[in-house]
Amino acid sequence: MAFQQFETVQKLGKDNVDAALKAFGAITKGVQTIAAEVGDYSKKNFETGTATIEKLVAVKTLDKAFEIHGEYLKTSYETAVAQATKLGEIYSSVAKEAYKPYEALFAKAAPVAAK
């Protein structure tokens, strides 16, 4: 009886380690995805800002400068909102992937705990 309990605890410990490693892998992959996404966004944002400055330097009237600046602000806002939404979806996906190994582990442990 005691030996069976020891084996059960040992198996549960191995399962915990396996779940932790799988979760860590999912988190690592997610962090890499997030870093790439933020890097791409930063690069595009810099390019857009640089192009806007070039346009502003070339204008001859104040009205045109305000128009260019207004377009830049609108585009920047829309891009920022879209990026925040996309990052939120990625974070959610990473959390779900990191939880999956534990979900299976909890499903296995529930019948053992009921005994």
Taking the C-alpha atoms of residue 78 and residue 41, their distance in angstroms, rounded to an integer, is: 13
* pLDDT, position 34: 96
* pLDDT, position 8: 63
Q: What is the dihedral of CA 98, 99, 100, 101, to 10 degrees?
A: 80
Show pLDDT as tens, one digit a residue, over the chain (115 residues). Answer: 555 665 666 666 777 788 888 889 999 999 999 999 999 999 999 999 999 999 999 999 999 999 999 999 999 999 999 999 999 999 999 999 999 888 877 777 666 555 5
Cβ neighbours of 101 (radius 10 Å): 20
Using the Cα atoms of residue 50, residue 54, residue 57 and residue 60 in order, give the sign of their dihedral.
Answer: negative
13, 16, 74, 92 from 9: Cα distances, Å: 6, 10, 59, 32
**Domain segments of the chain as ranges:** 34-114
> How close are the terminal C-alpha atoms of the chain, in Å?
14
Predicted TM-score (pTM) of this structure: 0.74
Contact (CB, 8 A) for 26 and 98: yes
Q: Which of 38, 67, 62 shows the shortest CA–CA distance to 52?
A: 67
